[in-house]
Amino acid sequence: MAHPKEFAEGLSIGIIMDGNGRWAKKRGLPRTAGHKRGAEVFSDIADYCDELGVASVYFYAFSTENWKRPLEEVNAIMRLFGEYLLKGFDYKNRNVRIRFMGDRTVLDPQLQELMNKLEADSAVKTGMTLNIAINYGGRPEIVRAAQQLAAKAAAGELRPEEITEQMLSDAMYTAGQKDPDLILRPSGEKRLSNFMLWQAAYSELVEMDVLWPDFTRSDLDAAIEEFNHRSRRFGGL
């Protein structure tokens, strides 16, 4: 569907990719089948965000709490992360910058190497920034930022009373990027699940009763359309 240039240009969008397991269960399939289909949807929606002129998109792929899932499922997700989330998107031929959010130090060394390479190779790109959150949690991110500023204070580089909101923002994984204008959650759930807690202060939340593996470009259109009809007052009148 064709849209006017201003439909989504410059937007910052957070997406909680939810419902893979339920999608598979409804079809009598293993949960891993839902994650595979969800990874394919990720590739298509990332493409579409780029085509729409979105400035930044944040995909919530794997949370710090997801390690509690069965080992077989976690291993499958990590394998798919390498196959689809990293290799399934045409990074080389797109003007897209890649950023990763979360603690990657516990991930497989080969996966870390691939992530580091993608970030380095795409650093000079000037188009959309594609953020993928893996082993990510909003609370750990805030703690990490606070620790960085506390270390500077302990070293005498700044006084505690000099710490500002902007300094904390600059210590987040999303430093230099726009906070999400809207955060979209498919699957019908109505919570953030520890996603971008600092950055979501004034984000518009859009919940949709569609499981992520069934999510389409038309669903993203509908979410953006709803956002475009909302009035954002940021605490004012």
Nearest partner of 35 among 234, 180, 213, judged by Cα = 213
Q: Please tell me which residue in 18, 50, 179, 181 is annotated as part of the active site.
A: 18
Distance CA 34, CA 70 (A): 15
SS3 207: strand
Nearest partner of 20 among 103, 80, 87, judged by Cα = 80
* C-alpha neighbours within 13 Å on the C-beta side of residue 91: 22
The reply to whether 18 belongs to the active site is yes
The reply to whether 66 belongs to the active site is yes
Nearest partner of 117 among 102, 100, 105, judged by Cα = 100
Q: Please tell me which residue in 44, 47, 50, 66 is annotated as part of the active site.
A: 66
Point out the residues that are catalytic.
18, 66
